[in-house]
Homo-oligomer: A and B are copies of this chain.
Amino acid sequence: MVYNAMEKTLIEVKYAITCNRNFDIIKNAAIAFENGKITYVGSNKNIPYYKSYFDNIIVEEHGIAIPGLINCHTHAAMNLFKGACDNLPLKLWLEKKIWPLESKLTSEDLFYGNLLSFLEMLSSGTTTFVDFYYFNELIDALKVIPLRAIATIAFLDQVPDGEAYWRRFKELQKYFDMANSIKDGLVKIALGPHAIYTCSRELLEKIVEVSEKHNLLVHMHVSETLDEVHFSKEKFGLTPIEYLDKIGILNERMIAAHCVHIKDKDINILRERRVNCVHNPSSNLKLADGIMPLSELLKANVNVCLGTDGSASSNSLNLINEMRTAILLQRGVNLDPEFPNAKDALLMATVNGAKALGLDRHIGSIETGKKADIVVVNGKSPRLYPEYDIVSNIVYSCTPADIMFTIVNGKILYNRGKFSNIDIEKIMDEFNDRALKLLSTTN
């Protein structure tokens, strides 16, 4: 079955968790969309069209519709290295394993890595993601499976051959053209200075200039480890946040991944500059980076969204797990059983993510006029029963086994275990062969 985004589709579900401003949960809901946009969301009693108007009508008596989840930090094709370096701290992980492996990657490896990651994301309810890896191969893969994405142009000049990255500033039009080659405006661009320890001050200043000129998002690893903080204090006499603020790179266009090691003064800066922070709890725990002060950031009204990081770090692109892990962790660490709660988690994974990407007028909630990025969960499962607090069920209890449909821009890309129009066997076989071959070169 192939659904066309142009087709007029009606979905009827038992509940729609809209994540709109009132956090309305509509019982016996109908959602209509065409041309990739939602034209109606409300009671199934008041659908402003005749049924014959629709090309497709899907009725899921026990379905729960939620906005598509937004994964705000990943390195999708790093799933090629999943499980290959599970027990190393970040610095050794990068220097001893990841960078040597990356030097052997081919474009085809990355293409299949990306495709496999898309299958994993779709099957766990993710419709939009922010990628920070190889740009060209990401675009190639998005031509095959059209998720919504922010493609990051990586910059790092404090590494061997680092000067090559400077040339990318002269090739910006090429990147714009590649992103625009994906239909329906599904792909936007971010500038990606890797981190303060891999980028010179000059490079960061150039990023500020280019970001302002073209109104581009900036996506960066910020205060991920104690090593990074020590480096910053030693080299600049400032915390990473203070240093970045001094450079003028912190503003509402900044998507700052991690923000694990931050103090009150840093939190003030993040709030004042309206920086978007991406919490990647599983990655931070597994790499033993530490724990982001999420509760403090949320209480300070900093916009915090969620990410999985790459599968070489967290071994999973399942954002539902990150919702769950994020709030459990804060409650246990702060000994606070009241905050954050399931609703906070769902907002981080939807509305806050949309805001971080500058796309809050288009995605993040199920509302008329927004893009049809929608996930339908099977509310009738041993995991999600009883139907008492369905938001709690989605965050704490839902698993990929409960995802029925994942819809991006009005296209049903995932339908109960099947991916429309995609040769999943070929993708999996190619991916596995390539990854195992790569990993056989390291030990």
Contacts of A87 in B (CB 8 A): 337-339, 341
A420 interface contact, C-beta 8 A: no
A321–B323 Cα distance when bound, in Å, is: 13
Whether A400 lies near B401 (C-beta < 8 A) is yes
Taking a contact as CB atoms under 8 Å apart, the answer to whether A83 and B401 are in contact is no
Interface string of A63-105 (1 = CB under 8 A from B): 0000000000000000110111011111001000000000000
Cβ-closest chain B residue relative to A403: B401
Interface-central residue, A325, A338, A386, by most chain B CB under 10 Å? A386
A83-B392 contact, Cβ under 8 Å, with A385-B435, A399-B318, A399-B401? yes
The contact string, 1 if C-beta is below 8 Å from chain B, for chain A 407-429, is 00000000001000000000010
**Are the CB atoms of B432 and A331 closer together than 8 Å?**
no
A253-276 near B? 1/0 per residue, CB < 8 Å: 000000000000000000000000
Q: Give A120 Cβ to nearest chain B Cβ, in Å.
A: 4
**Are A291 and B84 in contact, CB atoms less than 8 angstroms apart?**
no
Are A388 and B86 neighbours in the complex by a CB distance under 8 Å? no
- Give CA–CA (A83, B290) in the complex, Å: 29
> What B residues does A325 contact at CB under 8 A?
325, 328
The verdict on A387 contacting chain B, using a C-beta distance below 8 Å, is: yes
The answer to whether the Cβ of A119 comes within 8 Å of any Cβ in the partner chain is yes
Tell me whether A287 is interfacial, beta carbon within 8 Å.
yes
Contact of A439 among B93, B116, B334, B388 (CB under 8 A): B388
Of chain B, the residue at the smallest CB distance from A93 is: B337
Bitwise interface map of A from 317 to 350 toward B, beta carbon under 8 Å scored 1, else 0? 0100100110011011111111101100000000
- The segment from A195-203, A278-286, A362-370 that touches chain B is A278-286
Task: Say yes or no for A315: interface residue by CB 8 A criterion.
Answer: yes
A382 within 8 A of B: yes
- Is residue A389 within 8 Å, beta carbon to beta carbon, of the partner chain? yes
Which residues of chain A (113-140) have a CB below 8 Å from chain B?
A: 116-117, 119-120, 123-124
| C-alpha gap A382/B325 in the complex (Å) | 21
Known: A316-B396, A399-B401. A291 touches B333 (CB 8 A): yes
Contacting residue for A380 out of B84, B291, B428, CB 8 A = B428
26 contacts between A and B (CB under 8 A): A79-B386, A83-B386, A83-B388, A83-B393, A86-B342, A87-B339, A116-B385, A123-B401, A285-B329, A285-B332, A286-B332, A289-B335, A290-B335, A291-B332, A315-B393, A316-B383, A316-B397, A318-B399, A321-B324, A325-B328, A329-B329, A329-B332, A385-B431, A385-B435, A386-B431, A387-B432
A residues engaging B (CB < 8 A)? Answer: 79-80, 82-84, 86-90, 93, 116-117, 119-120, 123-124, 226, 282, 284-291, 311, 314-316, 318, 321, 324-325, 328-329, 331-339, 341-342, 380, 382-383, 385-389, 392-393, 396-397, 399-401, 417, 428, 431-432, 435-436, 439
Beyond A83-B386, A83-B393, A286-B328, 13 extra complex contacts between A and B, CB < 8 Å: A82-B386, A86-B342, A86-B392, A285-B332, A288-B336, A289-B332, A290-B335, A291-B332, A311-B397, A316-B383, A385-B431, A386-B439, A399-B401
